[in-house]
Amino acid sequence: MSPKKLQVLVLEDSESDALIAIGNLAVAGFVPDFKRVETEQELERALKSGKWDVILADYNLPDYSALDALRLVQKHKLDIPFIVISGAIGDETAVSAMKAGAHDYLMKGNLARLAPVVTRELNEAKVRSNQRKQAEIARQTELRYRLLWESSPDAIILLNAEGMICLVNPATKHVFGFEPHEIIGKRLENLQPGDLSPVNNPTLTCSLGNNRGKSFYSQTCETMGITKDGKEIHIEIAFGEVQMNQEYWFAAFIRDISQRKKAEAELSEQRQQLEVAGEIQERLFPEKAPDLPGFDLAGRSLPADSTGGDYYDFLPMVNGDLGIVVGDVTGHGLGAALLMAETRAYLRILTHNRVDSGDILTRANKVIAEDVSFGMHVTMMLLRLELETRRLHCNNAGHPDGFIIAKDGDIRRRIRSQAMPLGMFDAAEYVSSDDIILNHGDLVVALTDGFMEAENPSGEDFGEDRVLKVIQDHRDCSAQEIVEAIFRETNAFVDGAPIKDDWTLVILKVL
């Protein structure tokens, strides 16, 4: 066993007596490091500047005494073994010193007990230190539990083994409205409606019974509660087992979730409304493309949300022409879907009795601009196809480029934007563009920017080049097959990443 280092503070006016006591400890196997003091001032400085394992104090000094020193140590609230050593002390004086707080006393002429006494008192000081630490831990734990008990927004109800309410926290009144004395001593089911069906809403007593004797916290369940004024509320409850005074109790943790249930119901209703709106919007798109002699036509739209702001349509026009429309309302969701439906209605009316596509867009823009708020607008591509002559009239109002791709895969023409989007300025004028004669094998492509801006998990865009490559690689396929290829390749590229914008595409193929 290695020697024990010992910090010794010696209150002694005789240096030789101090050395004798220290030597006695060294012989017993200690490695003492000591400091000798004689006055109150020296003792005060030593207590403040050092950490001492034991104090050896002569009972009587010329200007000081062991009892005075003991009171100073107690004033500093130090738990240091204090041993009185005296040359002449009576039993009555020794007893008084022990009563005052000294841990033992010895005679200078007989120090054989010094080392055993020091060892004993060091051990007891260690025990007292551990006890203080445990007591402080218990105090802090109690403080935390008390803080939790008093400040918890949830009702906490303590129940005995029979399910009777024994104690409630302050939040119980906030949740149920009862004062503590009104429910203590009653059963827990008094906090639930009397006609509660145990099939659909388990009662609190049933939940308690199912967990009696189980040393774990029960799973949270939802049921109904009733307040003092008879109002039914949705509650969430869990039980935990608590041991106090060798007895097991149950703690019921109850939360009022009425607001959450109300929000969930509203969210569910909104979700249903969006689903209905999505179904309605789906019916606004063409069920199928019209059969056109000499042409193959297909289109498809996929919203990013339940409803979207993209739009495509095939519109019969005067003189037997066909209008092909692809549009994109700013944003997506219900607001964009409503503006899309409005735009669709205006165009269907205008294309029935007007030929000039520039005039159609001018009139549609005026009414849309009057209806929408600042920042809302519609980008649009309106193509008028003369079926007999294969002449295509193109108008692009702020929309992404469309393409006319030749049979060999080369881009014959980009259909670029020539004007601002609809709805931004009510006095805007839209002019018909130059037309183009379509050739055998040509592909006319009109799409929204959702494809180009589709991102994979790494944040890379699908981009225009990939769109064109897919079209060029499938140019010998039918229009519908080309559409499906674009959707398939874009979906594979995003690889499960959320779709941030609607995808809409129309393909016209000249046979």
Predicted confidence (pLDDT) per residue in 232-245, tens digit: 999 999 888 877 66
Question: In this predicted structure, what is the pLDDT of residue 41?
Answer: 93
Question: In this predicted structure, what is the pLDDT of residue 275?
Answer: 65
d(CA 282, CA 17): 106
Please identify, among 73, 96, 131, the residue that sits at the C-terminal boundary of a domain: 131
φ, ψ for residue 67, nearest 5 deg: -70, -35
The band of 404, judged by pLDDT with boundaries at 50, 70 and 90, is very high
Helix/strand/coil (H, E, C) string of 472-483? HHCCCCCHHHHH
Question: In this predicted structure, what is the pLDDT of residue 215?
Answer: 44
Tokens coding 182: 């009104």
Question: In this predicted structure, what is the pLDDT of residue 173?
Answer: 93
In a domain, 140, yes or no: no
Q: pLDDT tens, 267-282? A: 877 777 666 665 665 6
Element (H, E) at 459: none
Domain CATH for 244:
3.30.450.20
What single DSSP character describes residue 152?
-
- What is the extent of the structural domain holding 46? 4-131
In a domain, 191, yes or no: yes
Between 471 and 332, the higher pLDDT residue: 471
Same domain flag for 249 and 296 = no
Same domain flag for 25 and 157 = no
Please report, as a single letter, which amino acid is at residue 282: E
CB 443 within 8 A of CB 470: no
In the numeric block, the tokens 């000591």 are attached to 34
The gap between the terminal CA atoms of the chain, to the nearest Å, is: 103
d(CA 444, CA 318): 21
In the numeric block, the tokens 């609809």 are attached to 422
φ, ψ for residue 509, nearest 5 deg: -115, 130
Q: Please compute, for residue 210, the number of CA atoms within 13 A of its CA located in the half-sphere on the CB side.
A: 13
d(CA 295, CA 508): 7
d(CA 366, CA 298): 30
Question: In this predicted structure, what is the pLDDT of residue 206?
Answer: 52
Which residues lie below 8 Å from residue 41, measured CB to CB, with a gap of 6+? none
Q: Average pLDDT of 68-79?
A: 92
Question: In this predicted structure, what is the pLDDT of residue 281?
Answer: 59
Same domain flag for 415 and 325 = yes
Q: pLDDT tens, 41-65? A: 999 999 999 899 999 999 888 889 8
Please identify, among 237, 256, 275, the residue that sits at the C-terminal boundary of a domain: 256
In a domain, 453, yes or no: yes
In a domain, 173, yes or no: yes
Residues 131, 136, 142, CA angle at the centre, nearest 5°? 125
The band of 202, judged by pLDDT with boundaries at 50, 70 and 90, is low
> Which runs of consecutive H residues, i.e. helices, occur in 152-229?
171-176, 180-183, 204-211
In a domain, 273, yes or no: no
Between 406 and 275, the higher pLDDT residue: 406
Q: pLDDT tens, 356-390? A: 888 999 999 998 888 877 678 889 999 999 999 99
d(CA 67, CA 195): 76
Q: Average pLDDT of 207-235?
A: 73
In a domain, 325, yes or no: yes
**Structure-derived torsion over alpha carbons of residues 176, 182, 184, 185, reported in degrees to the nearest 10:** -130
Q: Is a pLDDT exceeding 70 seen at residue 38?
A: yes
Q: Average pLDDT of 93-104?
A: 86
Q: In what order do the strands lie in the sheet with 247-256?
A: 165-168, 155-159, 247-256, 232-244, 221-226
Q: Is a pLDDT exceeding 60 seen at residue 72?
A: yes
Same domain flag for 250 and 169 = yes
Q: What percentage of the chain exceeds 70 in pLDDT? A: 90
Radius of gyration of the chain (CA): 45
d(CA 330, CA 345): 18
Question: In this predicted structure, what is the pLDDT of residue 4?
Answer: 87
In a domain, 336, yes or no: yes
Q: pLDDT tens, 422-480? A: 988 888 899 887 789 999 999 999 999 999 999 999 889 999 999 999 999 999 999 99
The band of 307, judged by pLDDT with boundaries at 50, 70 and 90, is low
Same domain flag for 208 and 297 = no
Same domain flag for 381 and 433 = yes
Tokens coding 405: 């791709």
In a domain, 49, yes or no: yes
Antiparallel, parallel or unpaired: β 221-226 and 391-397: unpaired
**Structure-derived torsion over alpha carbons of residues 329, 335, 338, 344, reported in degrees to the nearest 10:** 0
Same domain flag for 124 and 172 = no
Q: pLDDT tens, 246-274? A: 777 888 899 999 998 888 888 877 777 66
Tokens coding 29: 């196997």
Domain CATH for 98:
3.40.50.2300
Pick from 9, 16, 33: which is nearest to 87 by CA? 16
Domain CATH for 340:
3.60.40.10
Question: In this predicted structure, what is the pLDDT of residue 283?
Answer: 66
Same domain flag for 75 and 193 = no
d(CA 349, CA 315): 10
Same domain flag for 327 and 212 = no
Q: In what order do the strands lie in the sheet with 54-58?
A: 30-37, 4-11, 54-58, 82-86, 104-107
Same domain flag for 177 and 125 = no
**Mean pLDDT over each residue of the chain, to the nearest integer:** 86
| Total number of domains constituting the chain | 3
What are the Cα distances from residue 319, in Å, to 181, 316, 322, 352, 361?
87, 9, 9, 10, 18
d(CA 353, CA 361): 13
Q: How many residues in the chain?
A: 511
Q: Is a pLDDT exceeding 90 seen at residue 3?
A: no
Question: In this predicted structure, what is the pLDDT of residue 213?
Answer: 47
Same domain flag for 462 and 400 = yes
Q: pLDDT tens, 132-184? A: 998 888 888 778 878 888 888 999 998 887 788 998 999 999 999 999 999 99
Same domain flag for 117 and 252 = no
Q: What three-state secondary structure class fits 503?
A: strand
Q: Identify the weakest region by mean pLDDT among 181-195, 198-212, 384-398.
A: 198-212
d(CA 290, CA 309): 23
Q: pLDDT tens, 315-327? A: 999 888 999 999 9
What are the Cα distances from residue 94, in Å, to 107, 174, 326?
10, 62, 107
Antiparallel, parallel or unpaired: β 30-37 and 4-11: parallel
Tell me the whole-structure pTM to 2 decimals.
0.54
